[in-house]
């Protein structure tokens, strides 16, 4: 029962172009969403988050968009850089005291 | 100076053995977690402790027993290891109330291989 789905296992983008990573969720109780980035042999690190009261949050080159009616969020990276090559995990949280639920991750490859 | 450190990073063992993975955080956080990343790549919560008290215990076989001697440590002991236990186990910590109060900080992971 996948409550958080990242249907694209991989994405390849050229340096300087936009990367768009997608995430869908099924649980309508989720109200806080996050993206984590993971390099090989390292733990995931926090990238950006968004609350369900917003539909957009921006931090430098990274922007997360939330479409509550579609239960969909996306992460935009622009411009993409080779150092962005990593696995990106979408995660969601419901009521306080419940754990973060992660997707399977999307591997982003940015070529120079 | 690693914020969340796990030992060992790699562990290869035989079926039926008992093993432990240790985790320590120096961030002063109240809450610690164990996540499992299996072959399908999902990161799944196993346990969460807040100030040494168990607050989340997902559907995990009772062969897995977490122990929190103090709020800076959360160790994972696994009895009678099975092939399906092979995975990468991630420890994490956060302030109470995360993620709304702050992010989760993850360790580098401990790759367990059961032969």
B33-78 per-position pLDDT tens digit:
999 998 888 899 999 998 888 888 887 899 999 999 999 999 999 9
Size of interface A-B (CB pairs under 8 A): 57
Supply the pLDDT for residue B60.
87
Between CA A41 and CA B59 the distance in angstroms is: 27
Specify the pLDDT at position B1: 67
The residues with which A88 forms a beta bridge, in sequence order, are A37, A106
Alpha-carbon gap: B57 to the closest alpha carbon of chain A (Å): 10
Pairing of strands B110-114, B10-13: parallel
In the β-sheet with A56-59, what is the strand arrangement from edge to edge? A4-5, A19-25, A72-77, A62-67, A56-59
Query: B99, B100, B109, B111: which to substitute to probe chain A, counting the most A Cβ within 10 Å?
Result: B99
Q: A101 and chain B: CB distance < 8 Å anywhere? A: yes
Give the tens place of pLDDT for each residue, B68-109.
999 999 999 999 999 999 999 999 999 888 887 778 999 999
Q: Do B42 and A100 touch (CB under 8 A)?
A: no
Q: Which residues of chain A make contact with B5, given a CB cutoff of 8 A?
A: none
């Amino acid at each position: 029962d996948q409550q958080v789905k990242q249907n694209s296992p991989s994405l390849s983008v050229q340096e300087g172009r936009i990367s768009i990573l997608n995430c869908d969720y099924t649980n309508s109780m989720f109200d806080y969403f996050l993206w984590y980035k993971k390099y090989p042999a390292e733990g995931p690190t926090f990238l950006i988050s968004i609350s369900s009261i917003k539909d957009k949050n921006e931090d430098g080159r990274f922007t997360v968009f939330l479409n509550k009616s579609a239960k969909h969020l996306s992460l935009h990276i622009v411009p993409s850089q080779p150092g962005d090559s990593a696995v990106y995990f979408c995660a969601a949280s419901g009521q306080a005291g419940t754990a973060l639920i992660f997707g399977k991750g999307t591997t982003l490859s940015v070529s120079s | 100076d690693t914020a969340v450190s796990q030992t060992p990073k790699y562990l290869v063992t035989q079926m039926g053995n008992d093993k432990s993975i240790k985790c320590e955080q120096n961030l002063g956080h109240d809450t610690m977690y164990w996540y499992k990343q299996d072959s399908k790549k999902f990161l799944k919560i196993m346990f969460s402790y807040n100030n040494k008290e168990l607050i989340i215990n997902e559907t995990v076989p009772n062969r897995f027993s977490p122990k929190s001697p103090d709020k800076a440590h959360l160790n994972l002991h696994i009895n009678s290891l099975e092939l399906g236990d092979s995975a990468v186990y991630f420890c994490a910590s956060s302030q109470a109330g995360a993620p709304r109060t702050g992010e989760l900080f993850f360790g580098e992971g401990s790759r367990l291989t059961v032969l």
